[in-house]
Structure 1
Protein backbone atom coordinates (compact mmCIF):
# COMPACT_ATOMS: atom_id res chain seq x y z
CA UNK A 1 0.00 0.00 0.00
CA UNK A 2 1.86 3.04 -1.32
CA UNK A 3 0.56 6.41 -0.12
CA UNK A 4 1.46 9.92 -1.28
CA UNK A 5 0.78 12.62 1.31
CA UNK A 6 0.22 15.95 -0.45
CA UNK A 7 1.06 18.84 1.86
CA UNK A 8 -0.02 22.40 1.03
CA UNK A 9 2.36 24.56 3.09
CA UNK A 10 2.95 28.20 3.92
CA UNK A 11 4.32 28.31 7.48
CA UNK A 12 6.05 26.43 10.33
CA UNK A 13 8.69 24.39 8.46
CA UNK A 14 9.60 22.71 11.76
CA UNK A 15 6.13 21.21 11.99
CA UNK A 16 6.16 20.14 8.33
CA UNK A 17 9.48 18.37 8.93
CA UNK A 18 8.19 16.72 12.08
CA UNK A 19 5.11 15.46 10.24
CA UNK A 20 7.20 14.18 7.31
CA UNK A 21 9.63 12.46 9.64
CA UNK A 22 6.74 10.70 11.38
CA UNK A 23 5.08 9.50 8.17
CA UNK A 24 8.09 8.82 5.97
CA UNK A 25 9.67 6.37 8.38
CA UNK A 26 7.44 3.92 6.50
CA UNK A 27 9.14 3.18 3.15
CA UNK A 28 5.70 3.02 1.49
CA UNK A 29 4.86 6.58 2.53
CA UNK A 30 6.12 9.67 0.68
CA UNK A 31 5.32 13.35 1.12
CA UNK A 32 4.99 15.94 -1.64
CA UNK A 33 5.28 19.55 -0.52
CA UNK A 34 4.02 22.74 -2.15
CA UNK A 35 5.36 25.87 -0.47
CA UNK A 36 3.35 29.04 -1.03
CA UNK A 37 5.29 31.17 -3.52
CA UNK A 38 4.86 34.18 -1.22
CA UNK A 39 7.11 32.45 1.30
CA UNK A 40 10.84 31.76 1.31
CA UNK A 41 11.24 28.09 0.43
CA UNK A 42 14.74 27.73 1.89
CA UNK A 43 13.68 27.16 5.55
CA UNK A 44 11.48 24.32 4.29
CA UNK A 45 14.27 22.83 2.19
CA UNK A 46 16.63 23.02 5.14
CA UNK A 47 14.16 21.46 7.60
CA UNK A 48 13.23 18.61 5.23
CA UNK A 49 16.57 17.96 3.53
CA UNK A 50 17.53 14.79 5.42
CA UNK A 51 14.12 13.10 5.38
CA UNK A 52 13.65 10.22 2.96
CA UNK A 53 10.66 10.33 0.64
CA UNK A 54 10.10 14.09 0.59
CA UNK A 55 9.63 15.85 -2.76
CA UNK A 56 8.96 19.51 -3.53
CA UNK A 57 6.68 20.51 -6.40
CA UNK A 58 8.60 21.89 -9.40
CA UNK A 59 6.29 24.92 -9.64
CA UNK A 60 4.74 27.06 -6.92
CA UNK A 61 1.76 29.42 -6.70
CA UNK A 62 0.99 32.40 -4.51
CA UNK A 63 -1.87 31.05 -2.42
CA UNK A 64 -4.27 33.56 -0.89
CA UNK A 65 -6.99 32.97 1.67
CA UNK A 66 -10.09 31.77 -0.19
CA UNK A 67 -8.50 32.10 -3.62
CA UNK A 68 -8.40 29.82 -6.66
CA UNK A 69 -4.61 29.56 -6.62
CA UNK A 70 -5.11 26.94 -3.91
CA UNK A 71 -6.60 24.74 -6.63
CA UNK A 72 -3.55 25.27 -8.84
CA UNK A 73 -1.31 24.37 -5.90
CA UNK A 74 -3.32 21.20 -5.16
CA UNK A 75 -2.96 20.10 -8.77
CA UNK A 76 0.78 20.76 -8.59
CA UNK A 77 0.90 18.27 -5.73
CA UNK A 78 -1.32 15.72 -7.46
CA UNK A 79 0.66 15.88 -10.69
CA UNK A 80 4.03 15.74 -8.97
CA UNK A 81 2.93 12.44 -7.43
CA UNK A 82 1.14 10.82 -10.37
CA UNK A 83 3.92 11.81 -12.79
CA UNK A 84 6.61 10.32 -10.58
CA UNK A 85 8.10 6.88 -11.19
CA UNK A 86 6.17 5.56 -8.19
CA UNK A 87 2.68 4.05 -8.36
CA UNK A 88 0.60 5.16 -5.38
CA UNK A 89 -2.59 3.51 -4.19
CA UNK A 90 -3.81 6.61 -2.36
CA UNK A 91 -3.26 10.36 -2.42
CA UNK A 92 -3.93 12.15 0.87
CA UNK A 93 -4.43 15.93 0.71
CA UNK A 94 -3.12 17.69 3.81
CA UNK A 95 -2.80 21.30 4.88
CA UNK A 96 0.40 22.43 6.61
CA UNK A 97 -0.87 22.34 10.22
CA UNK A 98 -2.21 18.77 10.05
CA UNK A 99 -0.58 15.95 12.01
CA UNK A 100 -1.09 12.17 12.27
CA UNK A 101 -2.77 10.93 15.44
CA UNK A 102 -2.52 7.24 14.55
CA UNK A 103 0.55 5.09 13.98
CA UNK A 104 1.87 4.53 10.47
CA UNK A 105 0.83 0.91 10.83
CA UNK A 106 -2.72 1.95 11.73
CA UNK A 107 -2.86 4.37 8.79
CA UNK A 108 -1.67 1.73 6.35
CA UNK A 109 -4.04 -0.91 7.72
CA UNK A 110 -6.92 1.55 7.47
CA UNK A 111 -6.35 2.16 3.78
CA UNK A 112 -5.74 -1.53 3.10
CA UNK A 113 -9.04 -2.42 4.81
CA UNK A 114 -10.87 0.28 2.80
CA UNK A 115 -9.06 -0.16 -0.50
CA UNK A 116 -11.04 1.31 -3.41
CA UNK A 117 -13.00 3.77 -1.28
CA UNK A 118 -12.81 7.52 -1.83
CA UNK A 119 -12.58 9.65 1.29
CA UNK A 120 -14.13 12.87 0.06
CA UNK A 121 -17.60 13.58 1.36
CA UNK A 122 -19.73 16.24 -0.32
CA UNK A 123 -22.58 18.42 0.90
CA UNK A 124 -25.07 19.10 -1.94
CA UNK A 125 -25.59 22.86 -2.21
CA UNK A 126 -26.96 23.35 -5.76
CA UNK A 127 -30.49 24.85 -5.83
CA UNK A 128 -30.32 25.37 -2.06
CA UNK A 129 -32.53 27.98 -0.40
CA UNK A 130 -30.03 28.35 2.46
CA UNK A 131 -28.05 31.58 1.96
CA UNK A 132 -25.18 30.14 4.05
CA UNK A 133 -24.58 27.79 1.12
CA UNK A 134 -25.92 29.65 -1.91
CA UNK A 135 -23.75 32.74 -1.32
CA UNK A 136 -20.76 30.53 -2.08
CA UNK A 137 -21.75 30.60 -5.75
CA UNK A 138 -24.33 33.39 -6.10
CA UNK A 139 -21.80 36.11 -5.25
CA UNK A 140 -18.70 37.04 -7.24
CA UNK A 141 -15.50 36.50 -5.25
CA UNK A 142 -12.10 37.99 -6.09
CA UNK A 143 -9.82 36.35 -3.54
CA UNK A 144 -6.52 35.83 -5.37
CA UNK A 145 -4.99 38.96 -3.88
CA UNK A 146 -3.30 39.86 -0.56
CA UNK A 147 -6.36 41.71 0.79
CA UNK A 148 -8.58 38.78 1.71
CA UNK A 149 -8.44 39.27 5.50
CA UNK A 150 -7.55 42.97 5.44
CA UNK A 151 -10.08 45.46 6.81
CA UNK A 152 -12.21 47.33 4.29
CA UNK A 153 -10.60 50.50 5.66
CA UNK A 154 -7.71 49.62 3.38
CA UNK A 155 -8.45 51.55 0.16
CA UNK A 156 -7.39 48.71 -2.17
CA UNK A 157 -9.46 46.18 -0.21
CA UNK A 158 -12.41 48.58 -0.32
CA UNK A 159 -12.15 48.92 -4.11
CA UNK A 160 -11.88 45.14 -4.41
CA UNK A 161 -15.00 44.69 -2.28
CA UNK A 162 -16.94 47.24 -4.33
CA UNK A 163 -15.88 45.52 -7.56
CA UNK A 164 -16.97 42.14 -6.15
CA UNK A 165 -20.37 43.54 -5.17
CA UNK A 166 -20.83 45.07 -8.61
CA UNK A 167 -19.81 41.86 -10.40
CA UNK A 168 -22.22 39.85 -8.23
CA UNK A 169 -24.99 41.33 -10.34
CA UNK A 170 -23.82 38.91 -13.04
CA UNK A 171 -23.91 35.82 -10.78
CA UNK A 172 -26.75 36.37 -8.30
CA UNK A 173 -29.19 34.36 -10.44
CA UNK A 174 -26.93 31.30 -10.64
CA UNK A 175 -28.55 28.16 -9.20
CA UNK A 176 -25.42 26.14 -8.41
CA UNK A 177 -25.39 23.95 -11.52
CA UNK A 178 -22.39 24.37 -13.81
CA UNK A 179 -23.13 23.65 -17.47
CA UNK A 180 -20.20 22.06 -19.28
CA UNK A 181 -19.88 20.55 -22.74
CA UNK A 182 -20.23 17.03 -21.35
CA UNK A 183 -23.12 17.70 -18.98
CA UNK A 184 -24.28 19.51 -15.86
CA UNK A 185 -22.43 19.58 -12.53
CA UNK A 186 -24.30 20.19 -9.28
CA UNK A 187 -22.04 21.97 -6.80
CA UNK A 188 -20.96 20.19 -3.60
CA UNK A 189 -18.80 21.45 -0.80
CA UNK A 190 -16.74 19.81 1.94
CA UNK A 191 -13.43 19.69 3.78
CA UNK A 192 -10.21 20.63 2.01
CA UNK A 193 -8.48 17.54 3.46
CA UNK A 194 -9.39 14.30 1.70
CA UNK A 195 -7.96 11.08 0.26
CA UNK A 196 -8.60 9.47 -3.13
CA UNK A 197 -7.46 6.42 -5.05
CA UNK A 198 -5.00 6.50 -7.93
CA UNK A 199 -7.80 6.13 -10.48
CA UNK A 200 -9.74 9.03 -8.97
CA UNK A 201 -6.64 11.25 -8.76
CA UNK A 202 -5.95 10.69 -12.45
CA UNK A 203 -9.58 11.46 -13.25
CA UNK A 204 -9.28 14.77 -11.35
CA UNK A 205 -6.09 15.57 -13.25
CA UNK A 206 -7.73 14.98 -16.62
CA UNK A 207 -10.92 16.81 -15.61
CA UNK A 208 -9.09 20.03 -14.78
CA UNK A 209 -7.39 20.02 -18.18
CA UNK A 210 -10.60 19.49 -20.16
CA UNK A 211 -13.33 21.53 -18.41
CA UNK A 212 -12.65 25.26 -18.94
CA UNK A 213 -16.21 26.43 -18.17
CA UNK A 214 -16.15 24.56 -14.87
CA UNK A 215 -12.78 26.09 -13.98
CA UNK A 216 -13.94 29.62 -14.82
CA UNK A 217 -16.91 29.30 -12.48
CA UNK A 218 -14.83 27.85 -9.67
CA UNK A 219 -12.40 30.79 -9.92
CA UNK A 220 -15.05 33.22 -8.66
CA UNK A 221 -16.54 31.06 -5.92
CA UNK A 222 -16.00 31.29 -2.19
CA UNK A 223 -13.25 28.93 -0.96
CA UNK A 224 -13.00 26.80 -4.12
CA UNK A 225 -10.74 24.26 -2.37
CA UNK A 226 -13.87 23.31 -0.40
CA UNK A 227 -15.89 22.83 -3.60
CA UNK A 228 -13.79 21.97 -6.65
CA UNK A 229 -12.74 18.40 -5.91
CA UNK A 230 -15.96 17.51 -4.10
CA UNK A 231 -18.08 18.68 -7.04
CA UNK A 232 -16.03 16.72 -9.57
CA UNK A 233 -16.06 13.48 -7.55
CA UNK A 234 -19.74 13.61 -6.57
CA UNK A 235 -20.79 14.17 -10.18
CA UNK A 236 -18.80 11.15 -11.37
CA UNK A 237 -18.87 7.38 -11.06
CA UNK A 238 -16.55 7.76 -8.05
CA UNK A 239 -19.34 9.08 -5.84
CA UNK A 240 -20.59 5.51 -5.38
CA UNK A 241 -17.17 4.58 -3.99
CA UNK A 242 -17.13 7.45 -1.47
CA UNK A 243 -17.36 6.58 2.22
CA UNK A 244 -20.71 8.38 2.11
CA UNK A 245 -22.65 9.89 -0.77
CA UNK A 246 -26.11 11.29 -1.47
CA UNK A 247 -26.01 12.74 2.05
CA UNK A 248 -28.59 15.37 2.99
CA UNK A 249 -27.52 18.99 3.27
CA UNK A 250 -26.15 19.89 6.68
CA UNK A 251 -24.58 23.12 7.91
CA UNK A 252 -21.04 23.63 9.21
CA UNK A 253 -17.86 22.13 7.86
CA UNK A 254 -17.12 20.01 10.93
CA UNK A 255 -20.04 17.81 9.87
CA UNK A 256 -18.21 16.91 6.64
CA UNK A 257 -14.91 15.61 8.02
CA UNK A 258 -13.20 12.86 6.05
CA UNK A 259 -10.10 11.65 7.92
CA UNK A 260 -9.01 14.78 9.81
CA UNK A 261 -10.34 15.84 13.20
CA UNK A 262 -10.75 19.57 13.82
CA UNK A 263 -12.86 21.97 15.86
CA UNK A 264 -14.36 25.12 14.39
CA UNK A 265 -16.39 27.23 16.83
CA UNK A 266 -15.50 30.53 15.10
CA UNK A 267 -12.17 29.61 13.53
CA UNK A 268 -10.18 26.39 13.55
CA UNK A 269 -8.98 25.74 17.11
CA UNK A 270 -5.26 25.22 17.76
CA UNK A 271 -5.00 21.94 19.65
CA UNK A 272 -2.81 21.55 22.75
CA UNK A 273 -1.84 18.89 25.27
CA UNK A 274 -5.25 19.35 26.93
CA UNK A 275 -6.76 17.73 23.81
CA UNK A 276 -4.56 14.61 23.92
CA UNK A 277 -7.05 12.22 25.56
CA UNK A 278 -9.80 13.36 23.21
CA UNK A 279 -7.60 12.76 20.16
CA UNK A 280 -6.76 9.25 21.38
CA UNK A 281 -10.47 8.38 21.28
CA UNK A 282 -11.52 9.80 17.89
CA UNK A 283 -11.49 7.51 14.83
CA UNK A 284 -9.79 10.09 12.57
CA UNK A 285 -6.27 9.47 11.26
CA UNK A 286 -5.09 13.11 11.48
CA UNK A 287 -5.84 16.27 13.42
CA UNK A 288 -5.90 19.97 12.59
CA UNK A 289 -4.55 22.32 13.64
CA UNK A 290 -1.31 22.16 15.56
CA UNK A 291 1.77 24.37 15.73
CA UNK A 292 5.32 23.41 16.59
CA UNK A 293 5.39 25.88 19.51
CA UNK A 294 1.90 26.03 21.04
CA UNK A 295 1.23 22.34 20.45
CA UNK A 296 4.70 20.99 21.29
CA UNK A 297 3.62 19.04 24.38
CA UNK A 298 0.73 17.50 22.45
CA UNK A 299 3.01 16.53 19.57
CA UNK A 300 5.48 14.98 22.02
CA UNK A 301 2.69 12.87 23.51
CA UNK A 302 1.42 11.79 20.08
CA UNK A 303 4.92 10.83 18.95
CA UNK A 304 5.63 8.94 22.18
CA UNK A 305 2.39 7.02 21.74
CA UNK A 306 2.66 6.35 18.02
CA UNK A 307 6.30 6.04 17.00
Structure 2
Protein backbone atom coordinates (compact mmCIF):
# COMPACT_ATOMS: atom_id res chain seq x y z
CA UNK A 1 0.00 0.00 0.00
CA UNK A 2 1.34 3.41 -1.02
CA UNK A 3 0.64 6.09 1.60
CA UNK A 4 1.36 9.83 1.56
CA UNK A 5 1.28 11.90 4.73
CA UNK A 6 0.54 15.59 4.23
CA UNK A 7 1.75 17.48 7.30
CA UNK A 8 1.23 21.12 8.21
CA UNK A 9 4.43 22.56 9.65
CA UNK A 10 3.95 25.70 11.70
CA UNK A 11 5.86 25.28 14.98
CA UNK A 12 9.09 26.80 13.57
CA UNK A 13 10.97 23.69 14.66
CA UNK A 14 11.10 20.45 12.71
CA UNK A 15 11.36 18.26 15.82
CA UNK A 16 7.89 16.77 15.51
CA UNK A 17 8.03 16.48 11.74
CA UNK A 18 11.36 14.64 11.89
CA UNK A 19 10.03 12.28 14.56
CA UNK A 20 6.99 11.48 12.41
CA UNK A 21 9.18 11.01 9.35
CA UNK A 22 11.22 8.47 11.31
CA UNK A 23 8.04 6.62 12.26
CA UNK A 24 6.93 6.49 8.61
CA UNK A 25 10.41 5.76 7.26
CA UNK A 26 10.61 3.19 4.43
CA UNK A 27 6.83 2.74 4.16
CA UNK A 28 5.17 6.16 3.71
CA UNK A 29 6.20 9.40 2.06
CA UNK A 30 6.06 12.50 4.26
CA UNK A 31 5.16 15.81 2.63
CA UNK A 32 5.51 18.95 4.77
CA UNK A 33 3.80 22.23 3.99
CA UNK A 34 5.57 24.95 5.95
CA UNK A 35 3.57 28.03 6.86
CA UNK A 36 4.82 30.81 4.58
CA UNK A 37 5.14 33.02 7.68
CA UNK A 38 7.70 30.59 9.17
CA UNK A 39 11.39 30.01 8.49
CA UNK A 40 11.83 26.99 6.23
CA UNK A 41 15.43 26.33 7.33
CA UNK A 42 14.73 23.73 10.08
CA UNK A 43 12.52 21.78 7.70
CA UNK A 44 15.06 21.95 4.88
CA UNK A 45 17.60 20.42 7.26
CA UNK A 46 15.13 17.66 8.19
CA UNK A 47 14.51 16.95 4.50
CA UNK A 48 18.24 16.69 3.92
CA UNK A 49 18.56 14.02 6.61
CA UNK A 50 15.32 12.05 5.98
CA UNK A 51 14.91 10.26 2.67
CA UNK A 52 11.10 10.16 2.91
CA UNK A 53 10.56 13.90 3.54
CA UNK A 54 9.36 16.08 0.68
CA UNK A 55 8.83 19.83 1.14
CA UNK A 56 5.76 21.47 -0.37
CA UNK A 57 6.64 23.27 -3.57
CA UNK A 58 3.97 25.91 -3.00
CA UNK A 59 3.58 27.58 0.40
CA UNK A 60 0.71 29.61 1.81
CA UNK A 61 0.48 31.73 4.96
CA UNK A 62 -1.70 29.73 7.34
CA UNK A 63 -4.25 31.50 9.53
CA UNK A 64 -6.59 30.00 12.11
CA UNK A 65 -9.99 29.36 10.57
CA UNK A 66 -8.97 30.45 7.08
CA UNK A 67 -9.22 28.77 3.69
CA UNK A 68 -5.46 28.70 3.15
CA UNK A 69 -5.32 25.51 5.22
CA UNK A 70 -7.36 23.83 2.48
CA UNK A 71 -5.32 25.45 -0.30
CA UNK A 72 -2.13 24.13 1.29
CA UNK A 73 -3.63 20.67 1.65
CA UNK A 74 -4.90 20.52 -1.95
CA UNK A 75 -1.73 21.79 -3.63
CA UNK A 76 0.47 19.47 -1.59
CA UNK A 77 -1.76 16.49 -2.35
CA UNK A 78 -1.52 17.31 -6.05
CA UNK A 79 2.27 17.53 -5.75
CA UNK A 80 2.27 14.09 -4.14
CA UNK A 81 0.04 12.59 -6.83
CA UNK A 82 2.36 13.87 -9.55
CA UNK A 83 5.10 11.81 -7.91
CA UNK A 84 3.31 8.55 -7.15
CA UNK A 85 -0.01 6.74 -7.44
CA UNK A 86 -0.91 6.69 -3.72
CA UNK A 87 -3.62 4.44 -2.31
CA UNK A 88 -4.27 6.60 0.77
CA UNK A 89 -3.44 10.17 1.72
CA UNK A 90 -3.43 11.52 5.27
CA UNK A 91 -3.62 15.10 6.54
CA UNK A 92 -2.08 15.88 9.96
CA UNK A 93 -0.04 18.46 11.88
CA UNK A 94 3.50 18.13 13.19
CA UNK A 95 2.32 18.01 16.83
CA UNK A 96 0.59 14.70 16.16
CA UNK A 97 1.96 11.31 17.19
CA UNK A 98 0.96 7.70 16.42
CA UNK A 99 -0.70 5.59 19.10
CA UNK A 100 -0.12 2.24 17.41
CA UNK A 101 2.82 0.36 15.94
CA UNK A 102 3.58 0.48 12.24
CA UNK A 103 2.10 -2.97 11.56
CA UNK A 104 -1.15 -2.02 13.30
CA UNK A 105 -1.24 1.30 11.46
CA UNK A 106 -0.96 -0.48 8.13
CA UNK A 107 -3.65 -2.96 9.18
CA UNK A 108 -5.97 -0.04 9.95
CA UNK A 109 -5.27 1.53 6.57
CA UNK A 110 -6.12 -1.75 4.80
CA UNK A 111 -9.62 -1.76 6.29
CA UNK A 112 -12.50 -0.75 3.97
CA UNK A 113 -13.23 2.43 5.89
CA UNK A 114 -12.56 6.14 5.52
CA UNK A 115 -10.53 7.48 8.43
CA UNK A 116 -12.31 10.77 8.95
CA UNK A 117 -14.58 12.07 11.70
CA UNK A 118 -17.74 13.22 9.93
CA UNK A 119 -21.39 13.73 10.78
CA UNK A 120 -24.47 15.55 9.55
CA UNK A 121 -24.14 19.16 10.69
CA UNK A 122 -27.45 20.45 12.03
CA UNK A 123 -26.09 22.77 14.74
CA UNK A 124 -27.11 26.33 13.91
CA UNK A 125 -23.76 27.73 14.98
CA UNK A 126 -21.96 25.43 12.54
CA UNK A 127 -24.40 26.20 9.75
CA UNK A 128 -23.89 29.91 10.43
CA UNK A 129 -20.18 29.42 9.78
CA UNK A 130 -21.09 28.65 6.17
CA UNK A 131 -23.97 31.06 5.68
CA UNK A 132 -22.05 34.06 6.99
CA UNK A 133 -19.35 35.88 5.07
CA UNK A 134 -15.88 35.71 6.60
CA UNK A 135 -12.31 36.34 5.50
CA UNK A 136 -9.67 35.09 7.93
CA UNK A 137 -6.71 34.62 5.57
CA UNK A 138 -4.72 37.71 6.54
CA UNK A 139 -3.14 39.35 9.54
CA UNK A 140 -5.49 42.29 9.06
CA UNK A 141 -8.66 40.21 9.33
CA UNK A 142 -7.82 37.15 11.42
CA UNK A 143 -9.44 37.13 14.88
CA UNK A 144 -6.65 35.20 16.62
CA UNK A 145 -3.61 36.59 18.46
CA UNK A 146 -2.54 39.30 16.01
CA UNK A 147 -0.82 42.41 17.46
CA UNK A 148 -2.56 45.63 16.40
CA UNK A 149 0.39 47.01 14.45
CA UNK A 150 0.65 43.79 12.41
CA UNK A 151 -2.87 44.29 11.04
CA UNK A 152 -1.69 46.17 7.96
CA UNK A 153 -3.86 46.21 4.83
CA UNK A 154 -2.32 45.10 1.55
CA UNK A 155 -3.53 44.67 -2.02
CA UNK A 156 -4.16 41.00 -1.16
CA UNK A 157 -6.83 41.91 1.39
CA UNK A 158 -8.43 44.46 -0.91
CA UNK A 159 -8.64 41.99 -3.83
CA UNK A 160 -10.08 39.28 -1.59
CA UNK A 161 -12.72 41.62 -0.17
CA UNK A 162 -13.77 42.58 -3.69
CA UNK A 163 -14.35 38.89 -4.42
CA UNK A 164 -16.21 38.55 -1.12
CA UNK A 165 -18.45 41.47 -2.10
CA UNK A 166 -19.18 39.84 -5.47
CA UNK A 167 -20.08 36.59 -3.70
CA UNK A 168 -22.42 38.46 -1.35
CA UNK A 169 -24.22 39.88 -4.36
CA UNK A 170 -24.43 36.47 -6.03
CA UNK A 171 -25.27 34.56 -2.85
CA UNK A 172 -23.64 31.44 -1.50
CA UNK A 173 -24.14 28.03 -3.07
CA UNK A 174 -27.24 26.30 -1.76
CA UNK A 175 -26.21 23.19 0.16
CA UNK A 176 -29.04 20.94 1.29
CA UNK A 177 -26.99 18.60 3.48
CA UNK A 178 -24.10 20.05 5.46
CA UNK A 179 -21.52 17.78 7.07
CA UNK A 180 -18.82 18.61 9.59
CA UNK A 181 -16.13 16.93 11.65
CA UNK A 182 -12.46 16.85 12.53
CA UNK A 183 -9.88 18.57 10.35
CA UNK A 184 -7.42 15.65 10.24
CA UNK A 185 -8.02 12.47 8.25
CA UNK A 186 -6.66 9.64 6.09
CA UNK A 187 -8.73 8.95 2.99
CA UNK A 188 -8.75 6.39 0.21
CA UNK A 189 -7.66 7.44 -3.26
CA UNK A 190 -11.25 7.23 -4.48
CA UNK A 191 -12.41 9.84 -1.95
CA UNK A 192 -9.36 12.03 -2.59
CA UNK A 193 -10.12 12.01 -6.31
CA UNK A 194 -13.78 12.83 -5.64
CA UNK A 195 -12.83 15.84 -3.53
CA UNK A 196 -10.20 17.15 -5.96
CA UNK A 197 -12.61 16.90 -8.88
CA UNK A 198 -15.25 18.86 -6.95
CA UNK A 199 -12.67 21.41 -5.75
CA UNK A 200 -11.68 22.32 -9.30
CA UNK A 201 -15.05 21.86 -11.02
CA UNK A 202 -17.43 23.65 -8.64
CA UNK A 203 -16.11 27.19 -8.28
CA UNK A 204 -19.27 28.46 -6.57
CA UNK A 205 -19.14 25.95 -3.72
CA UNK A 206 -15.37 26.35 -3.33
CA UNK A 207 -15.61 30.13 -3.11
CA UNK A 208 -18.59 29.89 -0.76
CA UNK A 209 -16.45 27.89 1.64
CA UNK A 210 -13.45 30.15 1.04
CA UNK A 211 -15.42 33.00 2.61
CA UNK A 212 -16.82 30.91 5.46
CA UNK A 213 -15.45 30.39 8.97
CA UNK A 214 -13.23 27.39 9.78
CA UNK A 215 -13.95 25.63 6.45
CA UNK A 216 -11.46 22.80 7.14
CA UNK A 217 -14.08 21.38 9.53
CA UNK A 218 -16.87 21.38 6.92
CA UNK A 219 -15.78 21.70 3.29
CA UNK A 220 -14.30 18.27 2.50
CA UNK A 221 -16.86 16.61 4.78
CA UNK A 222 -19.74 18.20 2.88
CA UNK A 223 -18.25 17.36 -0.53
CA UNK A 224 -17.79 13.70 0.44
CA UNK A 225 -21.23 13.56 2.07
CA UNK A 226 -22.52 10.48 3.83
CA UNK A 227 -19.89 7.73 3.92
CA UNK A 228 -20.74 4.05 4.20
CA UNK A 229 -18.19 3.63 6.99
CA UNK A 230 -15.91 6.14 8.68
CA UNK A 231 -13.76 6.25 11.82
CA UNK A 232 -11.79 8.97 13.58
CA UNK A 233 -8.17 9.13 12.41
CA UNK A 234 -6.72 11.61 14.93
CA UNK A 235 -7.98 11.76 18.51
CA UNK A 236 -8.19 15.29 19.92
CA UNK A 237 -9.28 16.11 23.48
CA UNK A 238 -11.65 19.09 23.52
CA UNK A 239 -12.91 18.40 27.06
CA UNK A 240 -10.01 20.04 28.94
CA UNK A 241 -8.27 23.39 28.84
CA UNK A 242 -6.35 24.52 26.94
CA UNK A 243 -8.56 23.40 24.06
CA UNK A 244 -7.47 21.37 22.30
CA UNK A 245 -5.69 19.80 25.26
CA UNK A 246 -1.90 19.39 24.98
CA UNK A 247 -0.70 16.03 26.34
CA UNK A 248 2.39 16.63 28.47
CA UNK A 249 3.35 13.18 29.74
CA UNK A 250 3.52 9.56 28.69
CA UNK A 251 1.24 8.69 31.63
CA UNK A 252 -1.51 10.85 30.15
CA UNK A 253 -1.07 9.19 26.79
CA UNK A 254 -0.92 5.65 28.20
CA UNK A 255 -4.18 6.08 30.12
CA UNK A 256 -5.97 7.67 27.18
CA UNK A 257 -9.06 6.13 25.58
CA UNK A 258 -8.61 7.21 21.97
CA UNK A 259 -11.59 5.07 20.87
CA UNK A 260 -9.60 3.30 18.19
CA UNK A 261 -7.99 6.34 16.58
CA UNK A 262 -4.43 5.47 15.47
CA UNK A 263 -3.06 9.00 16.03
CA UNK A 264 -3.19 11.70 18.73
CA UNK A 265 -3.07 15.51 18.65
CA UNK A 266 -1.71 17.64 20.38
CA UNK A 267 1.41 16.56 22.30
CA UNK A 268 4.36 18.31 23.94
CA UNK A 269 7.25 17.51 21.62
CA UNK A 270 9.96 18.42 24.12
CA UNK A 271 9.16 15.52 26.49
CA UNK A 272 11.85 12.81 26.08
CA UNK A 273 9.51 10.01 27.20
CA UNK A 274 7.07 10.87 24.42
CA UNK A 275 9.84 10.70 21.83
CA UNK A 276 10.92 7.33 23.23
CA UNK A 277 7.33 6.10 23.04
CA UNK A 278 7.00 7.06 19.36
CA UNK A 279 10.34 5.49 18.47
CA UNK A 280 9.29 2.26 20.19
CA UNK A 281 6.14 2.16 18.04
CA UNK A 282 8.24 2.50 14.90
CA UNK A 283 9.80 -0.86 15.70
CA UNK A 284 6.44 -2.68 16.11
Q: TM-score range by the shorter chain?
A: 0.7 to 0.9
The reply on whether 1:206 has 2:206 as its aligned counterpart is no
- Number of equivalences: 265
**Could you say what secondary structure the match of 1:191 adopts?**
coil
Aligned residue number for residue 87 of structure 1: 85
Cα offsets for 1:240-290 (capped at 9, x unmatched): 44327xxxxxxxxxxxxx111121135111112231322487522111011
Q: For residues 306 and 51 of structure 1, do their structure 2 counterparts lie closer, same or farther at Cα, with a shift above 3 Å needed?
A: closer
Q: For residues 283 and 306 of structure 1, do their structure 2 counterparts lie closer, same or farther at Cα, with a shift above 3 Å needed?
A: farther
**Could you say what secondary structure the match of 2:213 adopts?**
coil
Aligned residue number for residue 9 of structure 1: 9
**Deviation for aligned residue 1:296:** 3.2
Q: Find 2:214's aligned residue among 223, 241, 252.
A: 223
Aligned residue number for residue 144 of structure 2: 149
> CA separation in 2, counterparts of 1:71 and 1:64?
11
Matches within 5 A, 1:26-175: 27-84=26-83, 86-112=84-110, 114-115=111-112, 117-125=113-121, 128=122, 130-146=123-139, 147-150=142-145, 156=151
**Deviation for aligned residue 1:209:** 0.9
| Cα RMSD for the two superposed structures | 2.7
Matches within 5 A, 1:255-294: 258-264=232-238, 265-266=240-241, 267-273=243-249, 274-279=251-256, 282-293=259-270
Q: For residues 185 and 42 of structure 1, do their structure 2 counterparts lie closer, same or farther at Cα, with a shift above 3 Å needed?
A: farther
**Deviation for aligned residue 1:185:** 5.3
Q: Runs ≥4 in structure 1, deviation > 6 angstroms? A: 151-155
Q: For residues 155 and 197 of structure 1, do their structure 2 counterparts lie closer, same or farther at Cα, with a shift above 3 Å needed?
A: closer
Stretches of structure 1 lacking an aligned partner (at least 5 in a row): 245-257
> CA separation in 2, counterparts of 1:137 and 1:221?
5
> CA separation in 1, counterparts of 2:173 and 2:120?
13
**TM-score (structure 2 length as normaliser):** 0.83
> CA separation in 2, counterparts of 1:302 and 1:35?
22
Q: For residues 48 and 280 of structure 1, do their structure 2 counterparts lie closer, same or farther at Cα, with a shift above 3 Å needed?
A: farther
- Single out whichever of 147-156 and 213-222 deviates more from structure 2: 147-156
* Contact kept? 2:118, 2:181, Cα under 8 Å: yes
> CA separation in 2, counterparts of 1:95 and 1:71?
13
Stretches of structure 2 lacking an aligned partner (at least 5 in a row): none
